[in-house]
């Protein structure tokens, strides 16, 4: 499965969980269970994107605006992680907890919309189909390991810093340069 399909599936899964959580009333015990499922899914998703997808994009990006787009995605992940930490407070699923779930849902929805437009377009421009397929297979294997391993999520929970861009490490571009305006 190619990387874009894999990530879209994750987005759909998390979106459904967030929609279900938004339908819960404060005090509904399902909120806690849903929050745990959302946290697990987002943690693994962010881990594989940050380890494989974003660095590959960053290394291939040549224009400043493209690099900014990738770093924006890292920054959105950092915000989502902060919101997840609020949900892991152990507090009862009260009004504040429900509000935190709603804010998380809004942030994830914004991130997904931008990623599936800007970042996915960038990936299609910078990578051959075969490369997207290979990256998807690698990420799918990593996701399976993270979700099924005995220490599920531990690697994904480590604080990650946004790594610096490597200079001159990107392979040749597949097509002539498109302008940033023509992509958007």
User: Residues of 165-183 as b/e, b for ≥16 C-beta within 10 angstroms?
Assistant: eeeeebeeeeeeeeeeeeb
Is residue 184 assigned to a domain?
no
Number of domains observed in the structure of the chain:
1
Residue 157's contacts (CB-CB under 8 Å, 6 or more residues apart) are 43
Separation of alpha carbons 42 and 30, rounded Å: 18
Is 119 part of a structural domain of the chain? yes
Residue 174 lies in a domain: no
Q: Which domain range does residue 7 map to?
A: 3-161
pLDDT, tens digit only, all 184 positions of the chain: 999 999 999 999 999 999 999 999 998 989 989 999 999 999 999 999 999 999 999 999 999 999 999 999 999 999 999 999 988 877 788 899 999 999 999 999 999 999 999 999 999 999 999 999 999 999 999 999 999 865 444 433 333 334 444 444 444 445 444 444 444 4
Cβ atoms within 10 Å of 100's Cβ, excluding its own = 20
The pair of structure tokens assigned to 127 is 């990578």
Query: Residue 81: inside a domain, yes or no?
Result: yes
**What per-residue confidence (pLDDT) applies to 82?**
94
Evaluate whether residue 167 is within a structural domain: no
In a domain, 127, yes or no: yes
Whether residue 124 is contained in a domain is answered as yes
Q: Is residue 157 part of a domain?
A: yes
Q: How many CB atoms lie within 10 A of CB 18?
A: 23
């Amino acid at each position: 499965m190619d990387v874009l399909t894999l990530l879209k599936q994750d987005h759909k899964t998390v979106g459904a969980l967030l929609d279900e959580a938004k339908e819960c009333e404060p005090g509904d015990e399902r909120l806690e269970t849903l929050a745990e499922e959302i946290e697990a899914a987002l943690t693994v998703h962010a881990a594989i994107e940050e380890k494989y997808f974003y660095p590959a994009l960053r290394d291939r990006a040549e224009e400043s605006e493209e690099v900014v787009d990738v770093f924006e995605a890292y920054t959105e992940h950092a915000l989502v992680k902060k919101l997840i930490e609020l949900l892991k407070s152990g507090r009862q699923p009260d009004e504040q907890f429900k509000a935190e779930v709603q804010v998380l849902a809004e942030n994830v929805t914004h991130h997904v919309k931008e990623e599936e437009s800007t970042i996915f377009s960038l990936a299609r421009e910078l990578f051959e189909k075969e490369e997207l397929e290979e990256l998807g297979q690698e990420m799918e294997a990593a996701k399976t390991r993270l979700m099924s391993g005995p220490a599920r999520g531990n690697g994904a929970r480590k604080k990650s810093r946004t790594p610096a861009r490597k200079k001159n490490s990107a392979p040749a571009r597949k097509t002539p340069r498109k302008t940033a305006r023509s992509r958007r």
